[in-house]
Amino acid sequence: MAFTLYSLHHTAVLCTNAIAVLHEERFLCKIGWGADQRVGGFGDDPRIKAQVLNLIRSVRTVMRGQKSVFLCPQK
């Protein structure tokens, strides 16, 4: 498979964009990956799901420049 450095860059940009366009309200809250669902004991090591949510959140914050914290709409 002939990968080039350009294709790597291409892939990175597309993946970052894919993470950035995940909609908080319509999608993430629906599948239980919302911003306020990172529940974990403070003395405990964060679990994998919390780390993934953290990562998604930080990528979106950096890419979109959002400063406000959005909470999932209460049912």
Partner 1 sequence: MNDSNFPLCSLLTYSKKLHLSTLGSPEATTTIELVQMDYTATQSGFRQRKLQPNMRQRNSSMDGSEGSQLFEDTSRAAPGTQAGYSSNQQAGPQAAGFPGQSILSDPMSNLAMAYGSSLASQGREMVDKNLDRFLPISKLKYYFAVDTVYVGKKLGLLVFPYMHENWEVSYQQDTPVAPRFDVNAPDLYIPSMSFITYVLVAGLALGTQNKFSPELLGVQASSALVWLIMEVLAVLLSLYLVTVNTDLTTIDLLAFSGYKYVGMIIGVVAGLMFGRPAYYLSLLWCCAAIFVFMIRTLRLKLLSEAAAEGRLVRGTRNQLRMYLTMSIAAAQPIFMYWLTYHLVR
Chain residues in the site for partner 1 (CB under 8 A): 1-5, 7-8, 45-46, 48, 51-52, 55
Question: Judged by CB, which is closer to partner 1: 52, or 62?
Answer: 52
Question: Judged by CB, which is closer to partner 1: 55, or 71?
Answer: 55
Contact between 71 and 36 under an 8 Å Cβ cutoff? The reply is yes
The amino acid at 51: Q
Smallest gap from residue 2 Cβ to partner 1 (A): 5
Question: Judged by CB, which is closer to partner 1: 19, or 70?
Answer: 19
Q: What is the DSSP string of 6-43?
A: HHHHHHHHHHHHHHHT--IIIIITTTT--GGG----SS
